[in-house]
Structures are given as structure tokens and as C-alpha cells.
Amino acid sequence: MSQSLSNDTLPTSIPKLDHHGENWAIFKIRFQNAMEAKDKWGHFNGLTLWPPQPQPMLPFAPPEAMETESIASEANLVAEWDKNECTVKYMLTQRLPDSTLIHIQCYVTIAEQWSAIIEEYTKKGESAQAELWRDFMELCCGASANVWQFLNDLQTCTEEILACRVNINNDNYRVTIIRSIPKDLANFTSSTLSATQLIGPRKSIDPNNLIWQISKEYNHWCT
């Protein structure tokens, strides 16, 4: 019983798919990895074919026995295929929003359902990525907020956004840092970047290193 439940349950690392598609990229990667680990991914990409084909019989077996065993073997394969198909459908529905679950019910096989999900959430994901990029560029540290904590959270936020395949390059990152922090720290940051360019026109400071320097300056101000 415990083994069956274990095989039918997804790991907690797989998030529930967001209705707007904001976490589609990471959901797709983690869900596929889990299905491959359970040896069930063939039902999603269509490589586990229907109807399943039985193994060829030995040529020296009696014709009647070959026919009987072939029918039994085919029946067993069909039953196993159906069982696995039901299992992967159940696992997928554990992480789908209700609206998507209702939408894919018109498709018979899990391969057809997965294809429909990819089509829907690829479009949603592109829209969500554009929105995440815009929100990232508009981040701002509140007047009374702890700048050190804000910058620490900004690093985590950047990693999460990059995991969603949003194109945040180092220039975007540095611009967001300067725009989001208080004016005095922003002036310090701009001066630091200008000094680096004077040393070498092609040189630039890694954004995370820049955050470290700003945090160090902020702590100096606080003390």
C-alpha cells in the first residue's frame, strides 16, 4: 500500500501550476524530471505507444499455444498500459488549476492532454515573463525599509525570475539596483560604477558584487 501511494504521489518540489503561467518554466522542468524518474514520461511524449505490442513468440511453440499466449500477453499489456495511463493522469491533476483540468478533459490520452497544456501555457508563460520583467525593473526599496535586507531579497528574487527564463541581463540588474535604493546610496553606486569604467572602459562590476559593496556602505552609514 505504501509503495503504491509513493509511486502515485509527486514530490513537494513540484509546485502547483499557476493559472497565469508565471511558474510554467520551472513546473515543466521539475514535472518532466519526476515522470522520467518514475519511468512514465513515455505516456506524455507519445513514445509509449498504443496499442502496446506483445513480444514475438518462440517459433517452435504449437500454433494453438502461440495464439492463446499471444492473446493473454496482449491483454496483460493493455491492462498495464491503461493502469499507467490512469496513474500519470492522476499525478498530473495533482498540480493543475481547476480551469486547466476542465479544459483538457476533452482529450482522451495523457499525451494529447499534455500537448494542449504546453500550447496553452507557452503562450501564458511568454506573457507572464514580460510582466515579471516589467515588475522587476520597477522594484523599489521603501523609505523606511532595511536596505541590506531589500538587496538580499533582490538577489533571491533575481534567481527566481531567471529560473522562469525571464531575460534579466547584468545591465537590467544594475539599473534596477540603482533605481530601487535611496538617493544617497544610488549616488554612491553610480560613482562606484563610473570609477570602474575609468580604470577600464570595458570593465564592469558584477551586480552581486555591486550589491555587496552597497550593503557594506549601508552598514557603514548605519554605524
Q: In this structure, are 179 and 121 located in the same domain?
A: no
CA 204: distance to chain centroid?
31
Considering the domain boundaries, does residue 130 fall inside one?
no
pLDDT at 3: 43
Considering the domain boundaries, does residue 131 fall inside one?
no
Percent of the chain with pLDDT over 70: 84
Range of the domain at 215: 138-222
Considering the domain boundaries, does residue 202 fall inside one?
yes
Q: What number of other Cβ atoms are within 10 A of residue 111's Cβ?
A: 20
Instruction: List, run by run, the mean pLDDT of 10-residue segments along the chain (223 residues).
Output: 57 90 87 93 84 53 52 73 91 94 93 94 83 90 89 90 83 93 91 79 82 91 82
Q: In this structure, are 6 and 115 located in the same domain?
A: yes
pLDDT by residue (tens digit) across 56-100? 544 555 555 445 555 556 778 788 888 999 999 999 999 999 999
Report which of 153, 160, 192 is spatially closest to residue 174, judged by C-alpha positions. 192
- Cα of first residue to Cα of last residue in the chain, in angstroms, is 60
Q: In this structure, are 109 and 176 located in the same domain?
A: no
Q: Phi-psi category of 35—alpha, beta or left, where left has phi over 0 and alpha has psi -120 to 50?
A: alpha
What's the total number of domains in the chain? 2
Q: In this structure, are 111 and 144 located in the same domain?
A: no
Q: Give the DSSP letter of residue 14.
A: S
